Structure 1
Amino acid sequence: MENINAVTFGFMSQKNEWATDSARESLRLMKENTNASHVILAIVVEQDTPQSTTIHWESDQVLSDSEIIMMAQYARDLGLKVILKPIVNVADGTWRAHINFFDHDVPCEPKWSDWFACYTAFISHYAEIAELINADLFVIGCELVNSDRREAEWRQVIQDVRKKFQGKITYNADKYQENHVKWWDAVDVISSSGYYPIDSWETELDRIEAVVDAYQKPFFFCEVGCPSREGSQWLPNDWGLQGPVSQEAQANWYQAMFDACKKRKWLDGYGLWDWKAKLYSEIDAGSNDDYALYGKLASKKVSDFFR
């Protein structure tokens, strides 16, 4: 697999937000400021609660197919390769990893079978979009930790996706879960979210390397990043961590991550988190404590490494 130097674009965007000059300018600035070779287009849909079996992927608030297709074409015009990544979120704020149901069906209770039926309709639709735009990679799921154990259902999802999309597919496992997924043989690329503490990269990469060796598949971090706030370098997966803004903490984390990862010949790239479709002004970067890269010290680290 070719190396992936990607940045995730447009997470949480809603309908019509990509059909704007400002969104296209944001993508252009992403390419210019990071030297990315790929963009990961993130399409977010929601279900109401962790125990809902209906995914509202046809909601009027979801990015339209036409604007996804147009943004993918614009990315190509900029010289970027395109990874399509549909993501299920929970509307009540619960993290998607906690979507869960009884292992055995119980009358009058929500069921895995109902959820996977809806998930298959959702992901198959975007597989068709991925085929239409000739996506370089399609992400069939993201951090759905409690569903990872449902091996038979995921294998069926993969079979259905392959009927719609002829290219390479991956599943984005969550951090620390790489060695718990038992169906990596069914995808083309292993990927995960690399939100690891600044001082534990070597240990975690050793663990992931054993998975890569066992399955003999390409691997990349489909998500990897750190907020620009003090303390986040030790717990980069904590979105709500309190602390003062610190571009240095974010930049130091990126340097440590790149230094550790570049020594691993089996690691085929990164999907950095993240870049906003609605971009804040560069002058406001100094007060932004989010994962965003624009205008921050970490952006220079990324640009130099990707170059």
Structure 2
Amino acid sequence: MTWGWVGTRGTWATPAAADSMRLMADHGVNWTALAYAAEQATAFSTDIPFGSEPTVTDDEIVWAIREAHSLGMKVCLKPVVNVADGTWRAFIGFFDWDVPNEPSWTQWFASYSRFIVHAARIAEAEGCEMLCIGCEMVRADGQEAHWRALVAQVREVYSGPITYNCDKYQEDRVTWWDAVDVISSSGYYPIDQWEQQLDRIAPVVEASGKPFFFMEAGCPSREGSPALPNDWNLAGAPSGDEQLRYYEEMFRACRSRDWVGGLMLWDWPAALYQPDAAVDNDDYCPYGKPAALYMTAQYAAWKDEAR
């Protein structure tokens, strides 16, 4: 389960955050992605000021890692870049080649690499079991040489496994899977497409020889969301039953494929709503909803099978 997104400064390392993480662990979660965002101004900016607000501080990140470990969970540290004006990070992009006096991929990757390598040093110092070096960077995915250089820099300071979280439908388009240790993607597939998409992804995983899991997957608890689970703004009334229906199909499909290593579900906030508010909550978090009970049972069964 992903915890703490978007990592707004001041929301981690609080009593409420500690309660939230404990409740998440109580639901059978044994891995958590601690996800936080640094913000660049626009999709064409080349500076990523990861040490500034609103990003959580290093102390907050260390607190979250230690808290998760104390609860028996393994940690994937997941630093992510967002765009302050609301543009989705998939659209961050520049000319394919560097042009004088224009913002460039070289400039952007220099800043992005400082951000990721800084996180890698924290992950190494705190014994994080995995590091995710990027999330849904669709336009950047084609910059193979830059990604390979970044992985090399990360390996100089971090000794654990490295993954990259590609976006949905991109698993068979990334050309540098051999550079990372684990393949992962965002599995926000429509409820009636799970088998089709798993059939498409399977040859990629087989050819790579790498482990695979869904770094993100889930569905809002609202009417209509199972057909479009990646749209958190979709209009619809709150519905825990709809979220449960999606979870049932997602787990069924993924458990039938032995190459799917697991689901890092999206998501569990640092400031958790009260249980009696769950019926009116239409977001991704399953807490207090029918999907939470189902998820807990499925995770327990998956754990028993892995023994």
CA distance in 2, matches of 1:176, 1:235: 14
The letter for the 2-side match of 1:134 is: G
**Does 2:22 correspond to 1:28?**
yes
Indicate if the aligned counterparts of 2:222 and 2:236 stay in contact, CA closer than 8 A. Answer: yes
Deviation at 1:76, TM superposition (A): 1.1
Number of equivalences: 300
Q: Distance in 2 between matches of 1:36 and 1:13?
A: 20
Q: Distance in 1 between matches of 2:115 and 2:197?
A: 33
Relative to the length of structure 2, the TM-score reads 0.96
Alignment of structure 1 residues 204-223 onto 2, 5 Å = 204-223=197-216
Aligned pair 1:13/2:7, yes or no?
A: yes
Is 1:116 equivalent to 2:119 in the alignment?
no
Cα distance in 1 for partners of 2:291, 2:55 equals 31
Distance 1:129 1:70 in 2: 11
Amino acid at match of 1:257: M
DSSP-derived class of the 1:145 partner:
coil
Q: Percent identity?
A: 52
Task: Give RMSD over aligned pairs.
Answer: 0.8
Counterpart position of 1:290: 283
Query: How many angstroms does 1:61 deviate by?
Result: 2.7
Greater Cα offset, 73-82 or 253-262: 73-82
Aligned to 2:303: none
Matched, 1:169 2:153: no
- Determine if the alignment matches structure 1 residue 242 to structure 2 residue 235: yes
Alignment of 1:228 with 2:221, yes or no, is yes
Letter in 2 for 1:72: I
Q: Which amino acid aligns with 1:17?
A: T
**Which residue in the other structure is 1:84 paired with?**
77
Stretches of 4+ moved more than 6 A in 1? Answer: none
Instruction: List per-residue Cα deviations over 1:195-237 (Å, max 9, x = no partner).
Output: 0000110010011101001111000000001001111100101
Query: In structure 2, what is the equivalent of residue 3 of structure 1?
Result: none
2:260 aligned partner: 267
Question: Residue type of the partner of 2:114?
Answer: A
Cα distance in 2 for partners of 1:229, 1:113 equals 42
Deviations 1:171-211 (A, max 9, x none): 00000000000000000000000000001100100111010
- Could you tell me how far 1:74 is from its partner in structure 2? 1.4
Question: What residue in structure 2 maps to residue 4 of structure 1?
Answer: none
Separation of aligned partners in 2, 1:273 and 1:243: 19
The amino acid of 1:82's aligned partner reads V
**C-alpha separation in 2, matches of 1:74 and 1:9:** 12
| Cα pair 2:51 2:57 within 8 Å, conserved | no
Letter in 1 for 2:50: W
Q: Which letter maps to 1:59? A: S
The aligned runs of 1:56-71 (5 Å cut-off) are 56-71=49-64
How many Å apart are 1:294 and its aligned residue? 1.1
Consecutive unaligned residues in structure 1, runs of 5 or more: 1-6
